[in-house]
Structure 1
Amino acid sequence: MAPHADVDDVDFNVVRLPAPERPSFSESPPRLLIIGAGNRGITYAAAIGESTNGVCVGVVEPIAVKRRLLGQKYIWGKSEPSEGQEFEDWKQFLLWEVERRKRAALGENVPEGVDGVFICVQDHMHMAVVLGLAPLGLHIMCEKPLAPSLDDCVTIYRALSLDSSLAPSTIFSIGHVLRYSPHNMLLRKLLLEDKVIGEVMAVNHTEPVGWWHFTHSYVRGNWRKESTSAPSLLTKSCHDMDIIYWLLCSPPPGSSKPAHLPTSISSSGSLQYFNRAHKPTEAGNATNCLSCNYESSCQFSAKRIYIGPQMGGQKEHFVRIVLPEIEDCVAAGGLEAGKKALLAKLEEDYEPAMPASEVSKRSWFGRCVYEADNDVCDNQTVTLSWDNDPIAADCETSPQALTGRGSKTATLHMVAFAKKVCQRFTSIYGADGEIYADSNTITVQDFKTGEKKTHYPPVPLGEGHGDADAGLARQFVLAIDRVKNHGENATDAQTQYLGCSLDDMIRSHALVFAAEEARKEKIVLDFPSWWERKVASKLKV
């Protein structure tokens, strides 16, 4: 999937990758619906308009201001929305679409339908939306994680893969966007196709969440509690577990070999810091930053984070989550009016007598990080180990039978306390060399020749996980276009343009759930037997 790189004319130890091109438009471009107008919905709506050969034609969102902002910016502009362009929830869209098809069958003049949907609602809603819309036969991209529990993931898999009326005609994608960044696509090509460091021996991968990003999303935000969301390893680092799976388990393109799954998994981690035990004495009983005597000295002050310099260029992205109507406030009264509205939002606090069950129903972005109800890990490591697993047929004919299937280890470290924000870095050690990848460059050291070569994938224009958000949207919509307009089979299009099957999705998620079980039970988990017991046995007809 990655374009071929050309060697720089001046320095032959530097390789530069050209930026991906936007696919050409067909006469009837794919029509896409965004379900959920939060940050991820906005991200994909922007990507559709900037990087794909499709068009965003509708939005589903219960919060009117979010629905309107996304619609005005990416769908209907300054005019009013027309029929089929906005819905309050997915069930309303479902009823409308069923009725639209009935009306069309009767020969009535009705709006054109959509070809695919981007599901960007809260994690616990994914299964209901996926299963509810599946009978419509639409192509679906579901934001990660697939579901917050293993049982729900299995249920989705069974519904989409074992129901023959759905599987052959529809594309299903998951929001594992890191597979689609130019950086990671080149990294996988170098490892699995070019084999620039030979047999992989070990991988050390780090996901630095970023100290203020963690407070926003996992202490104050929607992903702070396992009971209402999921473990942080799933909500944040399922991206990273998927990259490890993609690099070390999945066979290279064109190979018929089965996945090389880990033999064992272990994990350790906890909520180390963000709890009442670490609250400074000077903060007293304060539960909100803006009423706290220690606020001006606290690095976690909501006022400093959302109005100060800590976020740098990423401020707009997160402020919009705290105050969705911020753009309207600024447009109406200028920057000072926007700041005043934001501070008013951060000042919102709960009364001491308010039941904890009521407090937990919403995110309080001005809340003291030491008084929050968060319980997810802010530091965690996962270790995966593989045994030698040659393929019997190959062993008889090739001395390279173990290539890609030898013993190895991989370690993932997810840490909240870092200056870097989601700028992952990875060291990969092979028999013939080593690689260091830092989300911007890939440096290869060849042990045989002593040569050191640095690869430079294109620098992304925005945040977007290093162009990965645009990359996933581009490939998903392209796959739809090939099915809709060029007669390709959906299964073939998914393989060629997305490179990720339902089997890959369930295995990748299973690694996360197995790691969490190993962490909580403090064991080294035998993955093959766990997989057979917890997953494979439930996938049989």
Structure 2
Amino acid sequence: MAQPTQTKPRLLIIGAGHRGNSYARATVESGLGVVAAVVEPIAFKRRSLGKKYVWLDQQPTPEQEFDDWKDFVAYEHQRRKDEAAGLPVPPGVDGVFVCVIDELHIHVVKALAPFGMHIMCEKPLATNLNDCVEMQHTLQLYPQRVFAIGHVLRYSPHNLLLRHLLLEKRVIGDVLSIEHVEPVGWWHFSHSFVRGHWRNSKTSAPALLTKSCHDIDFLLWMLCQPPPNSPVTAKPHVPSTISSAGSVKQFRRSQKPKEAGAATNCMSCPIKETCMYSAKRIYHDRFLAKGQTAWPVEIVNPQIGHILQTQGPSQAREALYASLAEDYDTTTTPVADIESRPWFGRCVYEADNDVCDDQTVTISWDDIPTSPQENITPQPTGHGAKTAIFHMIAQTRAQCQRRGWIYGTTGEIYYDSHNITVHDFTTEINDDETPNTNTNSTTPPSKPWAAAKISTRIYEPEVPQNSHHGGGDDGLTQQFLKAIIAVDGKKMGVQEAQVEFLGCTIEDCIRSHAAVFAAEEAREGKKVVEWDEWWAKNVRPILEAGEATGTSS
């Protein structure tokens, strides 16, 4: 790790996909850090990110780009060995953004942990509970460093304001219930979770983890984790029960239009010009034909943008069509080959997907009464009974534009991705502003529900234009960098900086991931999971084993 200085921290991006580019851009635009190197096996993607954010108009040097994360690990071991021997070496990196595919997170973080770098790991932490906890154990084996996870919903201006109004200002009193919806978007779901990498729980993980783990984290952040300025002794209000229901309702063979016949690929399908899920219509007509080559087109073929710029629309279209035409035969193509990659031209009704396209999760909390004997003061959130309902649905016009209702003892809040509307039941505004002074009247008003209006206030938090997740990408990046600067500048200890800037520890991450795994167990078993019992059976043994041996493996 580079020695603490007053210079900007140097960051490594591992994975030059959409997420890696988002964090690289946010790092540069924040002015708080320097993107020093990139790791990416696809040369075009690696050079594209590097040219934008690392070496710019210069030629890359060997320490600025790596084909594989293992290559960087070997390089860093040698660099430190040479440095210890007094040899001149390039400067190291202070922090890392881990943006590889989900199942590699555990391996990359474990390999980086001995270097003492600050780490931001994209969500989810891992694809199973054991690996999540093992990651925590591994990090605890070495001197503590700043650790962040890509739960970007915590860091958008919108959600920070919502939590402030809810838990600090208490604008609707004690929270009783939340209904939170993630509308994934009809074609977006088909891209990522029917044709894409996250389509099958056996090769990736359930959609509740890969797509919505930060929605579950959002709910626990609102209802479980103590609010800002709580006493250091404040404990989280953990759930009492979790249940879930969901399935694949649309994207299955029984729903395939008869007109499509035996076609398994959109490019050879007789209804490719009319089917709403036609890959040609989605990737070409919706995007490339309009000159748009970023996500999702770049996911299908990362070189389309370059081809469009250098060879023109016709060649770009042909390259896209060639990628979409790639298909497999379930009788002759090895299963390993089918599972090893996305198939973006595959018929959505003939794919090997099994993740839910419609799922609900219900989380309940019991009352936790205060104890006069222990002189316990109630937390601002109340520790009262409450319920959270989460709904992930694929078939929506809105795309990841989350929305919800929060019901409290003195009012209610409606929020979408732009506004926060607070209805205050304690303040009424009479329509005619003339009070009824006839206290002896026994005649009720003709419309008692219209006699008064509830006081309503609408908040419109500023949403950054270039940042995804309502500014959450930029917010997380900035807070991660500020924490690094505070720690490496000797202004704060790691734990203090973790709380001050990130407001989230790895223990919080483990809890929200555990809630996802508990919900999946409830869905598959068609049962209600008792949180304390489930935690004692599934999590505590792993934690205790790791504490005893230093690792859970």
User: When the two structures are superposed, what TM-score results if normalisation uses the length of structure 1?
Assistant: 0.91
Residue 90 of structure 1 corresponds to 69
Matches within 5 A, 1:291-306: 291-306=268-283
Question: How many residue pairs align between the two structures?
Answer: 511
| Conservation of the 8 A alpha-carbon contact between 1:495 and 1:501 | yes
Identity %: 53
Structure 2 residue 114 is matched with structure 1 residue 135: yes
SS state at 2:295 partner? helix
> One-letter code of the match for 1:195?
R
Matches within 5 A, 1:17-96: 27-96=6-75
Residue 214 of structure 2 corresponds to 239
Paired residue for 2:300, among 322, 326, 329? 322
Residue 523 of structure 1 corresponds to 527
In the TM superposition, residue 72 of structure 1 has moved relative to its aligned partner by: 1.1
In the TM superposition, residue 531 of structure 1 has moved relative to its aligned partner by: 0.9
Q: Matched residues in 1 for 2:470 and 2:374: separation?
A: 40
| Conservation of the 8 A alpha-carbon contact between 1:394 and 1:401 | no
User: When the two structures are superposed, what TM-score results if normalisation uses the length of structure 2?
Assistant: 0.89
Could you list the runs of 5+ residues in structure 2 that have no partner in the other structure? 428-453, 548-553
Question: What does the per-residue CA deviation read over 1:513-538, in whole Å, with 9 as the maximum and x for residues that have no partner?
Answer: 00000000000110111112211232
Structure 2 residue 413 is matched with structure 1 residue 409: no
| Conservation of the 8 A alpha-carbon contact between 1:83 and 1:111 | no
In the TM superposition, residue 287 of structure 1 has moved relative to its aligned partner by: 1.1
Residue 194 of structure 1 corresponds to 169
Paired residue for 2:259, among 282, 285, 293? 282
Structure 2 residue 157 is matched with structure 1 residue 179: no
Matches within 5 A, 1:368-447: 368-393=347-372, 396=375, 403-447=381-425
SS state at 2:50 partner? helix
In the TM superposition, residue 150 of structure 1 has moved relative to its aligned partner by: 0.5
Residue 16 of structure 1 corresponds to none
Residue 97 of structure 2 corresponds to 118
Question: What does the per-residue CA deviation read over 1:191-250, in whole Å, with 9 as the maximum and x for residues that have no partner?
Answer: 111111000011000000000000000000000010110000000010100000000000
Residue 205 of structure 2 corresponds to 230
Residue 17 of structure 1 corresponds to none
Q: Matched residues in 2 for 1:106 and 1:402: separation?
A: 55
> One-letter code of the match for 2:92?
G
Q: Matched residues in 2 for 1:321 and 1:281: separation?
A: 30
Q: Matched residues in 1 for 2:292 and 2:398: separation?
A: 12
SS state at 1:435 partner? strand
Q: Matched residues in 2 for 1:481 and 1:285: separation?
A: 59
Paired residue for 1:499, among 499, 503, 515? 503
| Conservation of the 8 A alpha-carbon contact between 1:181 and 1:465 | yes
Question: What does the per-residue CA deviation read over 1:336-386, in whole Å, with 9 as the maximum and x for residues that have no partner?
Answer: 332222122112222462233322221111111011011100000000111
Cα distance change on mapping 1:496 and 1:91 into 2, 3 Å: same
Q: Matched residues in 2 for 1:350 and 1:79: separation?
A: 42
In the TM superposition, residue 107 of structure 1 has moved relative to its aligned partner by: 2.4
> One-letter code of the match for 1:292?
C
SS state at 2:51 partner? helix
Residue 226 of structure 2 corresponds to 251
Residue 426 of structure 2 corresponds to 448
Cα distance change on mapping 1:95 and 1:393 into 2, 3 Å: farther
In the TM superposition, residue 417 of structure 1 has moved relative to its aligned partner by: 0.3
Structure 2 residue 250 is matched with structure 1 residue 273: yes
> One-letter code of the match for 2:386?
K
> One-letter code of the match for 1:278?
Q
Question: What does the per-residue CA deviation read over 1:396-450, in whole Å, with 9 as the maximum and x for residues that have no partner?
Answer: 576x578520001110000000000000001000001100110111010110013
Q: Matched residues in 2 for 1:302 and 1:285: separation?
A: 17
Cα distance change on mapping 1:432 and 1:324 into 2, 3 Å: same
Q: Matched residues in 2 for 1:313 and 1:201: separation?
A: 48
Paired residue for 1:488, among 483, 489, 492? 492
In the TM superposition, residue 463 of structure 1 has moved relative to its aligned partner by: 4.9
Q: Matched residues in 2 for 1:260 and 1:316: separation?
A: 42
Residue 212 of structure 1 corresponds to 187
> One-letter code of the match for 1:327?
G
Question: What does the per-residue CA deviation read over 1:116-136, in whole Å, with 9 as the maximum and x for residues that have no partner?
Answer: 000001111110111111000
Could you list the runs of 5+ residues in structure 1 that have no partner in the other structure? 1-25
| Conservation of the 8 A alpha-carbon contact between 2:370 and 2:376 | no
CA RMSD of aligned residues (A): 1.8
> One-letter code of the match for 2:47?
R
Q: Matched residues in 2 for 1:246 and 1:438: separation?
A: 17
SS state at 2:63 partner? coil
> One-letter code of the match for 1:290?
M
Cα distance change on mapping 1:537 and 1:344 into 2, 3 Å: same
